[in-house]
Chains A and B, each alone.
Chain A
């Protein structure tokens, strides 16, 4: 597509439920990144994909968080047993490789855990 598309744009969930966040990167971009922005915080790195593999998962905050990417395209970030501290804007970005010009970000999914 023309840009990075994320869905849903907003998600309200009850504590303890599982959620799935979707990212559709720019066509042809091999690298895909997940970040999150909690209230008053910067963008926190979560995970990086090159193709379908994830060489760096170091930013995932706990084992409740997982992500996958299929067909070198769409990625899903799953949060199990959500907690209130998971409330944040989850941003996906893509690039055509190691980029000295940064990434193209989607508009994000605002997750609220009540």
Chain B
């Protein structure tokens, strides 16, 4: 049973427009959520995080939104750049635990 789901395997966006990547989860005990970015042949790199006590966290072009009632997380990238083309994973962990559970990833392609 997948506790963290990314239902869109891929997304294409024009350069300069907004990219919205979505993530749904089932476990109400998750207290921390992360987004990772992965380029081919490299390990995932941390992008942005959000605590369950917040509903928004912003870092430059990246904003993560958390809707706890809907158990939904989204990552907004604006403006999108060709260098943002990568696979994006969302991940979540339960309070007091160490283990992050990852979604299956969404491949973002930003078209120049």
Contacts and interface: CB of A to CB of B under 8 A. Distances in A.
Nearest to B46: A102
Interface string B95-109: 011111111110000
Contacts of A105: 36, 43-45
A43 B81 CA distance: 25
B62 interface: no
Interface residues of A, number: 26
Interface string B37-62: 00001111110010100000000000
A100 interface: yes
A100 B51 contact: yes
B32 interface: yes
B44 A107 contact: no
Nearest to B41: A107
A91 B104 contact: no
Nearest to A58: B99
Nearest to B101: A45
B89 A107 contact: no
Interface in A37-57: 40-45, 48, 50, 56
Given A43-B44, A107-B41, A107-B42, A102 B91 contact: yes
B100 A103 contact: yes
B34 interface: yes
Interface of A: 4, 31, 33, 35, 40-45, 48, 50, 56, 91, 93, 98-108
Interface of B: 4, 6, 32, 34, 36, 41-46, 49, 51, 89, 91, 96-105
